[in-house]
Each structure stands twice: as C-alpha cells, then as structure tokens.
Amino acid sequence: MARLTKAFNQFGPAIITAALVFGPGSITITTKLGATFGDSILWVVVMSVIFMLIYTRMSTRIGLSTDQTLMTVVRESWGTPLVIILGLGIFLITCSFQAGNSIGAGVAFAELTGSKTVPWVIFFALASIALLFFKSFYLILEKVMTGLVLVMLISFLITLILSQPDLISITKGLIPTIPKGSVFLSSALIASSFSVVGAFYQSYLVQEKGWRIDQLATASKESRNGIIVLGILSTMVLLCASSVLHEKQIEVNTASDLGMALEPLFGRFATVAFMIGFFAASFSSLIGNATIGGALLSDALGAGKQLSSVKVRIGIALIMITGAGIAIAFGGLPIQLIIFAQAITIVIAPLAALVILGVANRKDIMGLRSNTPFQNILAWIGLLILILLAIYNIFRIFFPHLLFIDA
C-alpha cells in the first residue's frame, strides 16, 4: 500500500486530465460500443489514447518552455480574435456537457442509495463549489482527482475480473476493423478519448503545479502515465460491456444500465462496485470540466489565469451551477444541447489542435524542445483524424441525407 501511495503521489497534471476526460459520456459511449460490437472496437481506444498522449505531451512541453499561458502565446502570435474564439468556444462546450456530469453523479448515488436523483445533483454541485473556497485549489484538485482515479481503477478492475473477458477476443479486437453501423459510436469514442481541449489545458496544469523546464523528464513521464491510465479505464469498461452485455445480447441506453445488468449475474456487490466507479468518473469530470471552461475563458478575456484568481473561480462555479440547473430542469442532457455542443466542437477541436501543433514548432518559444519530424508526423495524423471527424459530423448534423457512410 505504501508503494502504491508513493506511485500515486507522483501523479499530477496528466492524472487530472485523464480524470476530467473519462466522464459519464465516455463511459456511456464505451459501454454502448462494447455491448453492440464486443471487443472488435478495442483498437479505436488504443488509437485514441496514442493521439491523446501525443498532444498532451506537446502541451506539457509548451507549459514548461514559457512563463506565459498558451492563450497568451496565441494572442501575441495570432491575435485576440482567435483567443476569444477558443476561450468562448471551450467555455460553451464545457457548459453544454456539464449537465451530463451532474446527472451522472446524481444517478450513481441514487442507484447506490435507492433514493431520488435531484437531491444528489444539488448536493454534488454544492460540494464542487465548496472546493473552490480552499486557498490552494490546485492542490485540492490534484488530490481529489488522484483519489477518484484510484477509486475508478479499483471499481472497474473488480467489475472486469467478475465479467471474465475472453483473451482471444481481446487480441482480435486490437486488429483494426470497422463493423457495419459502428462509425457513429466509434467517432464519438475518438472525440471523447482524444480530447484536444483536455490536452490544451495540460499546459496550464503543469504551470499550476509549479514545474520548471529542468523537470521536463518528470513531467513527460507523468504525462505518459496519466494518459495510459485513461486508456486502461476505457479498456476495462469496454471489455466489461463486451463480456456482460454483448455476449448475452443485452441492449443498453446508458452506462448505468451496465451496472444494473451485473446484479442478476454476479450479485449486488458487482453493481455497487461499478456504480462507485461511475460516480467517481462523473464527479471528477464535474469538477475538471468546469475548471477548464472557467479558467480558459477567464484567461482569454484577460481576467485572470491562475486557479487562485477569484474571477477564474467565479467562471468555474458558473459552469457548475449551469450544469446542475440543466440537469434538474431536463432530467438529463437535452438533445438540442448535445447538437449545440457537437457543432461548436467541430470548429474548436481541430482549431485547438492546430494551435498546440503550431506553438510546439515555434523555435523562439520551444528552443530544442520543439517537435521532431517524427512527432510532427504523428501530430498531423491526429489533426487529420479530427478534421475528418469534423467533416463527418457536419454531414451527420446538417446534411444527413448526403451521408453515404452506414453509421
């Protein structure tokens, strides 16, 4: 236990990024993929995590190479309008998806306690806001997120062991195939696991951590380990859904359906273990998602950049309150809001990736830490994937009758 505690004390910015990326939306998408297509889409998880790692490590190097924030660098390099577009776009995206995080945390505890969802939504919104009053909010954020990730790992590992996945099927799932009708969910999985917005904020987190350029090796190792944890969590949920739901042809609409499906097969303990992990994922995203939106908008508007700033904390609290309000009013995430968030993401995700890639190649900022040719090749492949996803989503949202892909 002491060794495990020491290992987790070495985590920091990237584990926060992993925790905020792996939320109820990611679990829902991964569960539906596993339930519908089994292990055959496992390669998509691996690919998404690889590109997430590439952009997270680029952002880490940017944060260590300059005392300025990434938004400040963008403002000085390409002008204020681009900064406003990025800041406002990211803020709107986080507001749009915050309701899903709020309802996820509420549903998990409601299922565990046999109570109603709304009181828990209110309680966890207030608990999240209360964290903002701590003087060292970053340190609190780091400890809370690390603890929640540990809870997720234990919970989903227990669920995975109980579900007894097929090792041969897992191996086959690493070979790229595109089952008929899997394009839409696979693209959603890539968008949720390869979160460029999360990678963008990584540069802020390493600066909040107080790391300097002489700690690049430590920061790079932590970035790698944190994103690997993200991949492990996604993989465990997909394999659980495949073993429990796909093999028995059980249809699901939400991630909590997987938790409920476990009880008749493995007893109440299995359901409790899964729902605890589901809560940890929801609550960590509830806090982290709001932190990204509030901090980046504040910096874009020149109103503050550090988590200790009152204006930044007000922005974070605003997103938390908005998410809880939507969750209570609609009982979930309205379809119109999902479409709105997707429409913004179509523009912001490739734009944010292009900004990270552009700054990572600036010799005047990065020096010897600028991208190597090999890193650029991988980064451009990741950017191309985001652009292709954006084009696909444009057709799916606005011109579905012209879409020739069987989604």
Place of tokens 């400890």: 143
- In angstroms, the CA 13 to CA 163 distance is 32
Asked if residue 42 lies in contact with residue 238, where contact means CB atoms within 8 angstroms, the answer is yes
Sign of the torsion formed by the C-alpha atoms of 379, 382, 388 and 389: negative
Q: How many CB atoms lie within 10 A of CB 400?
A: 9
- In angstroms, the CA 33 to CA 226 distance is 24
- In angstroms, the CA 155 to CA 271 distance is 10
- In angstroms, the CA 109 to CA 102 distance is 11
The C-alpha R_g of the chain, in whole angstroms, comes to 20
Q: How many CB atoms lie within 10 A of CB 232?
A: 18
Dig out the tokens for 390 from the structure. 């954006």
Sign of the torsion formed by the C-alpha atoms of 294, 295, 300 and 306: positive
Nearest to 16 by CA among 225, 190, 235, 300: 225
- CA torsion angle 190 195 199 202 (round to 10): -130
* Residue 180 φ/ψ, nearest 5 degrees: -60, 130
Dig out the tokens for 346 from the structure. 């179509």
Going residue by residue through the chain (407 aa), what tens digit of pLDDT does each one get?
A: 555 555 555 667 888 899 888 988 888 889 889 989 999 999 999 999 999 999 999 999 999 999 999 999 999 999 999 999 999 999 988 888 888 889 888 988 888 888 899 999 999 999 999 999 888 888 889 889 989 999 999 999 998 998 888 889 899 999 999 888 888 888 888 888 899 999 999 999 999 988 888 888 989 898 999 999 999 999 999 999 899 888 777 777 777 777 777 877 778 888 888 999 999 999 999 999 999 999 999 999 988 888 888 999 999 999 999 989 988 888 766 666 766 776 788 889 999 999 999 999 999 999 989 999 999 999 999 999 999 988 888 887 777 776 665 55
Delineate the domains of the chain, giving CATH numbers in brackets. 2-402 (1.20.1740.10)
Instruction: Give one DSSP letter per residue of 117-133, joined into a string.
Output: HHHHHHHHHHHHHHHTT
Strands (E), 65-107: none
Nearest to 85 by CA among 351, 342, 341, 293: 351
What pLDDT score does 3 carry? 56
What pLDDT score does 390 carry? 86
Asked if residue 58 lies in contact with residue 375, where contact means CB atoms within 8 angstroms, the answer is yes
What pLDDT score does 387 carry? 92
Instruction: Give one DSSP letter per residue of 257-287, joined into a string.
Output: HHHHHHHHHH-HHHHHHHHHHHHHHHHHHHH
